[in-house]
């Protein structure tokens, strides 16, 4: 299947939660391997792929702040959690023969390259998968915002958000049986209806640059590859 049309370069946001699999904390290696296989297939088909990885499976600044930790300090710890996830994912990708570079927004030169925009573009042009770690490098932001930021910087054709459900619903489908899934939404719909997709900063960044967001369920083998082909279930935000 030719997936190079219409997508030439994409960014996949993988939440930390996605790496937990059935667990409630940390990393489930089988889940990391499944995502790596999915990304490998897309990369080998010729689509330039970059990843932004979350850290919520290990540490969240907001949660730590609720228990009395300084918020900014907690956020830095959260950013470090994303680096742990990035190294796991890099290793899983290398085991399926995909050249991968981790670029960190917080300098950590012994284990990751510093984030340099033009170098990241070059890696992707050479067919390497780039994993953007440490979010934006700033506290009070999220990895969703980092995903929108990097996708804009990389001039990606779309931002794919791999979640636990197969798109954006009118209510939480796990709680409300009447919740309906949207096929397409506008950025303004998401903002004005306060739909729980990505934070407002991320949606606004995407909107300003007309970056399409595709929300899908990443918990099935080949889900990313399938959605890139326009198959399966997802919600497009344009």
Annotated binding-site residues for UMP read 55, 75, 136-143
Report the C-alpha gap between 177 and 55 in whole angstroms.
Answer: 30
Which residue matches tokens 């950590």? 108
**What is the DSSP pairing of strand 168-169 with strand 184-185?**
unpaired
16 binds ligand UDP (CB under 6 A): yes
| Window contacting ligand UDP (CB under 6 A); options: 111-119, 134-142, 153-161, 170-178 | 134-142
Which residue matches tokens 């640059």? 209
**Cβ of residue 60: shortest distance to ligand UDP, in angstroms?**
4
Site size with ligand UDP, rule: CB under 6 A? 24
146 binds ligand UDP (CB under 6 A): yes
15 binds ligand UDP (CB under 6 A): yes
Which residue matches tokens 């290990």? 58
54 binds ligand UDP (CB under 6 A): yes
Q: What's the Cα-to-Cα distance from 212 to each of 54, 159, 193, 227, 236, rounded to whole Å? A: 20, 6, 18, 13, 7
**Cβ of residue 79: shortest distance to ligand UDP, in angstroms?**
5
| Window contacting ligand UDP (CB under 6 A); options: 10-18, 40-48, 113-121, 225-233 | 10-18
**Cβ of residue 182: shortest distance to ligand UDP, in angstroms?**
21
**Which residue, 28 or 127, has its beta carbon nearer to ligand UDP?**
28
Q: Which of 141, 160, 182, 234 binds ligand UDP (CB under 6 A)?
A: 141
Report the C-alpha gap between 236 and 17 in whole angstroms.
Answer: 21
139 binds ligand UDP (CB under 6 A): yes
**Cβ of residue 15: shortest distance to ligand UDP, in angstroms?**
4
| Window contacting ligand UDP (CB under 6 A); options: 53-61, 90-98, 163-171, 223-231 | 53-61
Report the C-alpha gap between 124 and 47 in whole angstroms.
Answer: 9
75 binds ligand UDP (CB under 6 A): yes
Q: Which residues bind ligand UDP (CB under 6 A)?
A: 15-17, 54-56, 60-62, 74-75, 78-79, 81-82, 135-136, 138-139, 141-144, 146
């Amino acid at each position: 299947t030719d997936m190079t049309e219409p997508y030439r370069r994409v960014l996949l946001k993988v939440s930390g939660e996605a790496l937990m699999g059935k667990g409630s904390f940390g990393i489930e290696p089988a889940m990391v391997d499944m995502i790596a296989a999915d990304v490998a297939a897309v990369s080998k088909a010729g689509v330039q792929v970059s990843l932004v990885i979350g850290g919520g499976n290990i540490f969240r600044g907001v949660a730590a702040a609720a228990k009395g930790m300084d918020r900014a300090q907690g956020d830095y710890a959260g950013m470090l959690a994303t680096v742990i996830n990035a190294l796991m994912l890099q290793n899983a990708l290398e085991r399926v023969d995909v050249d991968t570079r981790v670029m960190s927004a917080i300098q950590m030169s012994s284990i990751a390259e510093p984030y340099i925009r033009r170098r990241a573009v070059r890696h992707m042009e050479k067919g390497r998968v780039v994993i953007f770690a440490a979010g934006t490098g700033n506290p009070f932001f999220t990895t969703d915002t980092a995903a929108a930021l990097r996708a804009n910087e990389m001039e990606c054709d779309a931002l794919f958000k791999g979640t636990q459900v197969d798109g954006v619903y009118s209510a939480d489908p796990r709680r409300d049986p009447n919740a309906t899934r949207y096929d397409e939404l506008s950025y303004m719909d998401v903002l004005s209806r306060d739909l729980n997709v990505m934070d407002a900063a991320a949606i606004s960044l995407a909107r300003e640059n007309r970056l399409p967001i595709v929300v899908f369920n990443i918990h099935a083998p080949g889900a990313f590859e399938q959605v890139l082909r326009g198959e399966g279930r997802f919600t497009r935000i344009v």
